[in-house]
Structure 1
């Protein structure tokens, strides 16, 4: 699930897009065949948060010190879920305390992911 999630999120970064929790979960089901997440329960939401933490940790260096989980948001939301901010704090990033500050922090993080992976996607292959 971690490898599949990493691949899905990097593809979103290259495409200059974010994804919703539901879209991401559906893509994981298609990629792995593993049963989906039940977001109506606390356990289902916690499982997704845990997976996003693991993906972000596994791809941290490859992502240029950014958290891939930032690309997953609630449908219609203008920022990430609380797990993104907790992990960012644990990684030593200066997470603002205000809602507006957090939204700006998240938006910058997403922009940097898009820029980082757009650059990776356009680099010539080593030969």
Structure 2
């Protein structure tokens, strides 16, 4: 029996998780940030699966679930959380699910202030850029 979560099978979640890890690592190597909308488009392009409809609460929850899976799959040891690179369109902050997951992982105190959360997030983003340095060389358009 194949159990479905948010209308997708375990195999579909595995495929989305791998594609999400790859996409967010590319974003980190580029030294940028992404949005939920861009992440959604990249997942559709890379997996061929239907996109998430952010007008539906269940789909928004499913993306949160996916970012938790991506964090678990791509974070070994003390690596930063790749989901730190995903923002709401037009806002300069991570979503509440990011902070909730950080607290569940013991990376952020439960009573963290807004300023502490913001510092944690920016530290995570900086650490991601360090862990995933920009590609250099001819293929990246850089010099040796």
TM-score by length of structure 1 reads 0.87
CA apart distance, 1:114:
0.8
CA apart distance, 1:7:
0.3
Report if aligned partners of 1:78, 1:103 keep a CA contact under 8 Å in 2. no
Which gives a bigger RCO, structure 1 or 2 (Cα 8 Å, sep 6+)?
1
1:1-127 alignment runs, 5 A limit = 1-61=16-76, 64-95=78-109, 97-118=112-133
Task: Give the length in aligned residue pairs.
Answer: 120
CA apart distance, 1:17:
0.8
Which runs of 5 or more structure 1 residues have no equivalent in the other structure?
123-127
Q: Secondary structure at the match of 2:132?
A: helix
Partner residue of 2:6? Answer: none
Which runs of 5 or more structure 2 residues have no equivalent in the other structure?
1-15, 137-144
CA apart distance, 1:101:
2.4
Q: Secondary structure at the match of 1:38?
A: coil
Q: Which has the larger radius of gyration?
A: 2
TM-score by length of structure 2 reads 0.77
Show CA shifts across 1:48-79 (max 9, x none).
000000000001117x4211111111011111
> Following the alignment from structure 2 to structure 1, what is the Cα–Cα distance between the partners of residues 108 and 101?
11
